[in-house]
């Protein structure tokens, strides 16, 4: 089981190499592209721009859209226990005032005041294209640190959720954080020398959107929010 994700990554690299060597593939892409250009009467300059450094951003958007459309065509695997199907928009986090309206005054951490967040290395290259994501609420049942939790789930083909994904997840399943504390390790805000990650918590009457240091040892009761790759 541990070797499966690595085997999958090797297969992806191999398939990409085959595409790069395939002249027929590129001719097919160019033919489809030019057919659409003619249909839409797009100026040649706009298409030529794709081959310049300025066109890289446009190509990135095209690849993300192609990936999203491809994912929609794939058969959906049955959800495992503690997995949840949630649409994610990747819209910017609501303002601090809006978050306090949702969670209640005094129930939102100051780290969500608009300051920048940095993605964990395991999330640095994720595609933030709006679409459906499969979340997994993981309970390790033992004390564990953040790096170990991420490494163990990476071998099972999951990555940690970011603070934005955690915020959208709780909107779809607010009752879950009323059952247990859920930690999102996929992004952090720096406060002093500390990396602070988003935490969905609650007490008997209120829900909280707070933070805890990334570099801590989590107790056995904590749950962690991951996303299926």
CATH 3.10.100 fits 83-228, yes or no: yes
**Residues 200-224: pLDDT tens digits?**
999 988 999 999 999 999 999 999 9
Contact between residue 169 and residue 226 where contact means Cβ atoms under 8 Å apart: no
| Distances in whole angstroms, Cα of residue 218 to Cα of each of 144, 162, 184 | 5, 18, 12
d(C-alpha 93, C-alpha 110), whole Å: 13
d(C-alpha 111, C-alpha 129), whole Å: 24
> Beta strands 207-213 and 194-202: pairing type?
antiparallel
Q: What is the pTM of this model?
A: 0.72
What number is the average pLDDT over the span 93-110? 96
Domain ranges of the chain: 4-73, 83-228
pLDDT of residue 106: 95
Contact between residue 183 and residue 226 where contact means Cβ atoms under 8 Å apart: no
Half-sphere exposure of 186 (CA within 13 A, CB side): 26
**Residues 142-154: pLDDT tens digits?**
999 999 999 999 9
pLDDT of residue 96: 97
């Amino acid at each position: 089981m541990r070797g499966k994700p690595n085997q999958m990554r090797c297969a992806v690299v191999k398939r990409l190499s085959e595409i790069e060597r395939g002249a027929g593939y590129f001719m097919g892409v160019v033919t489809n592209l030019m057919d659409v250009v003619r249909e839409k009467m797009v100026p040649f300059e706009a298409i030529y721009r794709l081959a310049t450094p300025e066109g890289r951003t446009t190509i990135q958007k095209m690849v993300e859209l192609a990936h999203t459309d491809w994912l929609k065509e794939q058969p959906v695997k049955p959800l495992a226990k503690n997995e949840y199907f949630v649409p994610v928009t990747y819209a910017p986090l609501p303002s601090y005032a809006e978050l306090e309206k949702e969670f209640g005054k005094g129930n939102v951490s100051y780290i969500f005041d608009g300051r920048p967040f940095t993605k964990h290395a395991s999330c640095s290259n994720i595609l933030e294209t709006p679409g459906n994501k499969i979340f997994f609420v993981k309970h390790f049942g033992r004390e564990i640190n953040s790096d170990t939790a991420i490494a163990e789930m990476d071998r099972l083909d999951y990555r940690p959720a970011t603070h934005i994904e955690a915020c959208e997840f709780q909107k779809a399943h607010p009752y879950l954080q009323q059952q247990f504390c859920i930690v999102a390790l996929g992004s952090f805000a720096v406060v002093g020398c500390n990396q602070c990650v988003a935490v969905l918590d609650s007490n008997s009457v209120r829900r909280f959107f707070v933070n805890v240091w990334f570099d801590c040892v989590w107790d056995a009761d904590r749950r962690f929010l991951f996303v299926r790759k």
